[in-house]
Amino acid sequence: MSRPAITEVTPPRRELRRVGAHSHIRGLGLDEKGKPKFVADGMVGQMEAREAAGIVVKMIREGKMAGRGVLLVGPPGTGKTAIAIGIAKELGEDTPFVAISGSEIYSSELKKTEFLMQAIRKAIGVRFREVREVYEGVVRELKIRFVKHPLNPWVKIPREAIITLATKDDERTLKVPEDVAAQLLQLRVRRGDIIEIDAETGVVRKLGRVGEKRYDIETERYLEIPSGPVRKRKEIVHTVTLHDLDMSAMAQRAAIASLLGLAVEREVPPEVRQQVDKEVMKLVKEGKAELVPGVLFIDDAHMLDIEAFSFLTRAMESELAPILILATNRGMAKIRGTDIESPHGIPLDLLDRLLIIKTRPYTEEEIREILKIRSEEEEIPLSDDALEELTKLGKEKSLRYAIQLMEPARIIAEREGRAKVTAEDVRYASKLFVDVKDSVQYVKQFEEMFLR
């Protein structure tokens, strides 16, 4: 069945937002000498760790990371994931970034090695250039229509969107289907953003915003309003992953297998990957494509077992390998699947191949700056006393707890008719939503009443 077409309609009016936990990260926040700024590119503090990550980026660009990886070590909530994302952002906007947890390999229906191989292939991009028909312009109006989820009436999902794009010379209003609407939400597209939408595939790309830089520290890229017609032919640079190409080849095999009444394979055979690699290398030699090594980030790396570590050690030496970044908050621990204790629960032969970067708990000043960034990113206006109360909670309990309280506090303030969140709203929210330590104390207090 063909996908719904993009059609032009009368313009509507609405602005929407969608925020991820690390959507504000734009890079490592380094100056021209590779030294970290205290606050930059959405990053705050962790000066030594960010400087070390910047050196890793330079090594990657110079091709000096072959056979090596990175290990981020630090307590929970100290920015390990943010640093990994920052490394990927520094390598380029289209650099693939794949994040998995060490425990995921056990919950998949695939073999552990196949799961890891697919993750590795997802983290290696192939960049193509082609001329395509696109809609490009600054967003003047945006309205997304939601409907109830078919399986959960409490959840709403996008059904379609109506968006007005304008250039210096033209303006068009488009009606787009649910897959495009979902991309608009995911990219947090709003009025003033410059975007382009592929007229055939519906792929949305966010190019920047209209305007001038107002602050020394900006997380947005500011551009001039495009000229010419909204719909135009334009050279598009797009990146697919080796895994995407593997799945495309597998789909062709599955179609043939179903016609012949054969069983459809669940895992990608080695010969399929070898054929894909051969075709890609041919395109690279012809100058029609280029390889983009990305970042494979494995959080809670201590959850991996000895077989997984052995596989990763061998994979790092491959010619087609992404940048491997592991993260853990463990000290001395047993290597899963053995009785051997090792630093961070990782075998010594793999540790010898890793550059280890440590992160430390945030200071009160750093917590305050992070909360400022998150309040701006999530569009939650905080009064000065609310910011100080959240900073206090972040220092005493945890940064994650303070960030999680921001949205409940906003709803409480809105319920009371206040435009800004106050310290009173934060304190009230902290009574309703306790942190982990308070939860443990509560269980101990009423331990006899809980089921065993």
Q: What pLDDT digit, counting tens, does each position of 389-429 carry?
A: 889 888 888 888 888 888 888 888 888 888 888 888 888 88
CATH 1.10.8.60 for domain 364-443: yes
Beta bridge partners of 219: none
Is residue 237 pLDDT above 80, yes or no?
A: no
pLDDT in tens, 370-380: 888 888 877 88
What pLDDT shows up at residue 305?
86
CA-nearest of 41, 45, 44, 47 to 24 is 41
**pLDDT (average), residues 121-132:** 83
C-alpha–C-alpha distance, residues 249 and 354, integer Å: 34
d(CA 238, CA 205): 10
- Residue 177 and residue 164 in contact, taking contact as beta carbons nearer than 8 Å: no
Percent of the chain with pLDDT over 90: 2
In this predicted structure, the answer to whether residue 293 has a pLDDT above a threshold of 50 is yes
CA 169 vs. chain centroid, Å, equals 35
Q: Stretch 207-215: mean pLDDT, rounded?
A: 73
The 10s digit of each residue's pLDDT in 384-394 is 888 888 898 88
Query: Is there a contact between 337 and 307 (Cβ–Cβ < 8 Å)?
Result: yes
HEC profile of 303-371: HCEHHHHHHHHHHHCCCCCCEEEEEECCCEEECECCCCEEECCCCHHHHCCEEEEECCCCCHHHHHHHH
pLDDT at 215: 54
Q: CA geometry: angle at 119 spanning 114 and 121, to 5°?
A: 95
Residue written as token pair 């790092």: 316
Q: Which CATH superfamily is domain 46-123+294-361 in?
A: P-loop containing nucleotide triphosphate hydrolases (3.40.50.300)
Average pLDDT over residues 288-299: 85
- Residue 292 half-sphere exposure toward CB, CA atoms < 13 A: 22
Counting beta carbons within 10 angstroms of the beta carbon of residue 396, is it exposed (0 to 12), middle (13 to 18) or buried (19 or more)? exposed
pLDDT tens for residues 158-172?
888 999 999 988 899
Q: Is residue 94 scored above 80 in pLDDT?
A: no
Give the phi and the psi of residue 424 in degrees, each rounded to 5: -60, -40
Identical topology for domains 7-13+129-239 and 46-123+294-361: no
pLDDT band at 1 (very low <50, low <70, confident <90, very high): very low
pLDDT in the model for residue 12: 41
Per-residue pLDDT, 18: 42
pLDDT band at 104 (very low <50, low <70, confident <90, very high): confident
CA distance 71 to 353: 10
Q: How far apart are CA 31 and CA 73, in angstroms?
A: 24
Question: Contact at 8 Å (CB) between 72 and 83?
Answer: yes
Q: Following DSSP, what letter does each residue of 145-181 receive, concatenated?
A: EEEE-SS-TT-EEEEEEEEEEE-SS-EEEEEEEHHHH
Cα–Cα distance measured from residue 183 to residue 292, given in angstroms and rounded to the nearest whole number: 23
pLDDT bin (cut points 50, 70, 90) of residue 24 is: low
**Local confidence band at 10 (pLDDT 50, 70, 90 cut-offs):** very low
Q: Tell me the pLDDT band of 295, cut-offs 50, 70 and 90.
A: confident
Domain boundaries, the chain: 7-13+129-239, 46-123+294-361, 364-443
Mean pLDDT along residues 234-260: 75
Cα gap 169→83, rounded to integer Å: 42
**Residue position matching structure tokens 């990146």:** 239
**Of 94 and 181, more confident:** 181
Q: What is the mean pLDDT of the chain?
A: 81
Architecture of domain 7-13+129-239 in this structure: Beta Barrel (2.40)
The DSSP H or E segment spanning 182 is helix 178-186
Task: Judge whether residue 70 has pLDDT over 70.
Answer: yes
Residue 300 near residue 327 (C-beta atoms within 8 A): yes
The tens digit of pLDDT for each residue in 306-365 reads 888 888 888 887 777 888 889 888 888 888 888 888 888 888 888 888 888 888 888 888
Contact 303, 276 (CB under 8 A): no
Instruction: Compute the C-alpha angle 310/313/318, nearest 5°.
Output: 125
pLDDT of 115 strictly over 60 = yes
297: phi then psi, degrees, rounded to nearest 5: -105, 120
Question: Residue 15: pLDDT above 70?
Answer: no
Helix (H) or strand (E) holding 128: strand 124-148
Confidence of residue 254 (pLDDT cuts 50, 70, 90): low
Q: What is the rounded distance in angstroms from the CA atom of residue 11 to the CA atom of residue 141?
A: 7
Strand positions, DSSP E, 39-103: 39-40, 43-44, 69-73, 97-101
Where b means 16+ CB within 10 Å and e means fewer, 218-256 reads: ebeeeeeebeeebbbeeebebbbbbbebbbebbeeeeee
Q: What is the pLDDT of residue 165?
A: 92
Band (259; pLDDT cuts 50, 70, 90): low
Give the tens place of pLDDT for each residue, 133-164. Answer: 889 999 999 998 888 888 787 878 888 899 99
The model's pLDDT over 337-354, given as tens digits with 9 standing for 90+, comes to 888 888 888 888 888 888
The helix (run of H) or strand (run of E) holding residue 207 is strand 204-210
CA pair distance 330, 73, nearest whole angstrom = 8
136 DSSP 8-state letter: E
* pLDDT of 218 higher than 60: no
Per-residue DSSP letters for 393-432? HHHHT-HHHHHHHHHHHHHHHHHTT-SSB-HHHHHHHHHH
* CA separation for the pair 350, 301 (Å, rounded): 12
